[in-house]
Amino acid sequence: MYWFITTLSTVGYGDMHAENTGEMVYTTAYMLFNLSLTAYIIGNMTNPVVHGTSRTRKFLIRSMPMHLPRSLQYPPSTPHPLHSTAFSHSLRPRRPNGPPPAFASAEFPGSIPDSAQMPPRRRRRRSVAGIDQDDLLDPDALADPDSSFYEINGVRVHHKVCTHEDSSDQSPDSAITNADQNQIGLPIVLLHGFGSSVFSWTHIMRPLARIAGAKVLAFDRPAFGLTSRTIWSGDDTKPINPYSMAFSVMATLAFIDQLGAKKAVLVGHSAGCLVAVEAYFEAPERVAALVLVAPAIFVPVFRRKGVKENGVGEQEWQNKKDSNDSNLPTNPLNRIWGKFLELCLWIAGFLMNMIRAIGGVVRSLYYKSVVAVLRSSVGVMLVRLIMDKFGILAVRNAWYDPSKVTDHVIQGYTKPLRSRGWEMALLEYTISMIMDSISSSKVPVSERLSEISCPVLVVSGDTDRLVPRWNTERVARAIPGAGFEVIKNSGHLPQEERPEEFVSVVERFLRRAFGRPNNEQEQVLQAAV
């Protein structure tokens, strides 16, 4: 099989000689891939030819009377051409002597119109995750009664606000009595993760507003939820890419200003934790505390350029080199040998720099080609296929018990798929992630966690399959003084699966951080006194 495949597919590419079984398997798979790709390209090249000749085929079908029914082609008084002596002189089919049929078209007399030849084919309606893609709407038409929109840099950002007055379940007198004792007095901004939306915070917004004694705001980041989908082309009218991390940070700080507060508590989930931490580094005086739920910080997808492999810096290497030079004997041959080694090292370094430069060009071309593919119709088709096959499956996999994922939850996650332009927005967000990951001008968040000085709580589900518990604990260890809490029987979405436990954990953290004990702690303290 190996020699057959390589002989068949390496004509014109040179000889390939495998050294072991692994290389043979790899070469066979690689050549089969080449054959498949070539067949795919040839097949796609023939599609325009087939579609281009379809009009000619239809014309021939309409113009040839042979395709008429036998009773309509030739009246009973006219003999069939095959039975006539004139058939040997001409192979051209004879036209019927009688008048053309009543249903003959005016353009081609004697032919059957298209509507009579075959019934019109019903167009197959497209569907992604059960959502009809032929009846997409604007985000405003999909908004809930409690939804609001706030325009930031030309983007209408969808958000919801819950006040502590609306969240109080007690009578007015008791609410006023406990207001000063149990409430933190700081607003909270909720930042959802990848593929999620404001819907993810539905169960905890009111309880958090009651605890905070202030407004709780959750907004949809661009490309998710019901935030407007805009097309960004890098022009001067929109200097900030709405799908970039910089825009999400700007939107977070803008909403803190809209709440009329000097600082707020940021609660991020999964990829939203990156936004929360970046907002802290952008304006640490505006962030009172951070709550990081299943933080996707130490889950790198792309390797960053310029990261040192062995951790030995250039200055340290130079110091070692100088110390070694000082220990060499004064023999002239040793000095000549040392200079020769320096020359060899310089040549090796020069070659390595050339290889890195070539690799950088290749890498740049590779990423540009990936971006071009994502922005084409192939990218749109790919994102539709992924969302259709794995969208609902990913939601179920994020829960501890997938059987408890109700239709209401599925509808909440698939509702943004009814928004017009959701595919291109998701692709632009992916492109922005790729470009941010390969940028070497900014230090990654994972390397700056030790610089955080505000109160931090890190929360994880004990059975999180997407961001494992050990990875979340690694984030907690990297932040000085950070607390770490694990919610049992919970997956990647503890705020949805275990809202009561989640609110209780956040409440303990906020009261411990800002010195506002609850009623039970006060009663225990009074009894002790």
pLDDT above 50 (res 80) = no
Residue 82, amino acid: L
Classify residue 351 as exposed, middle or buried by CB count within 10 Å of its CB (0-12, 13-18, 19+).
exposed
Helices 21-52 and 2-9: crossing angle, nearest 10°? 50
131 and 417 Cβ atoms separated by less than 8 Å: yes
Q: Which pLDDT belongs to residue 472?
A: 93
How does pLDDT run across 134-156, given as a tens digit for each residue? 888 899 899 999 999 999 988 99
> Which helix (H) or strand (E) element contains residue 116?
helix 114-117
Neighbours of 72 (CB within 10 A): 16
pLDDT above 70 (res 513) = yes
In terms of Cα–Cα distance, which of 240, 280, 324, 253 is closest to 450?
Answer: 280
Q: Which pLDDT belongs to residue 190?
A: 97
- Residues pairing with 131 in the sheet: 128
Question: Of how many residues is the chain composed?
Answer: 529
**Residue whose structure tokens are 């109160």:** 455
DSSP label of 333: H
Least confident of 219-223, 272-276, 309-313: 309-313
pLDDT above 50 (res 173) = no
How does pLDDT run across 324-376, given as a tens digit for each residue? 444 445 556 656 766 666 776 677 666 666 666 666 666 667 777 778 888 88
pLDDT above 60 (res 118) = no
How does pLDDT run across 195-212, given as a tens digit for each residue? 999 999 999 999 999 999
Q: Which pLDDT belongs to residue 263?
A: 93
> Which helix (H) or strand (E) element contains residue 492?
none
- Residues pairing with 250 in the sheet: none
Average pLDDT over residues 471-475: 93
270 and 246 Cβ atoms separated by less than 8 Å: no
Cα separation, 423 vs 245, whole angstroms: 19
Report percent pLDDT > 90 for the chain.
39
Q: Which pLDDT belongs to residue 89?
A: 47
Q: How far apart are the first and last CA of the chain?
A: 86
Q: What is the CATH number of domain 145-166+181-299+444-516?
A: 3.40.50.1820
481 and 524 Cβ atoms separated by less than 8 Å: no
- Look up the pTM and report it: 0.65
Q: Which pLDDT belongs to residue 133?
A: 85
Cα separation, 39 vs 37, whole angstroms: 5
In terms of Cα–Cα distance, which of 487, 483, 475, 486 is closest to 513?
Answer: 483
- Residues pairing with 457 in the sheet: 291, 483
**Residue whose structure tokens are 């087939």:** 50
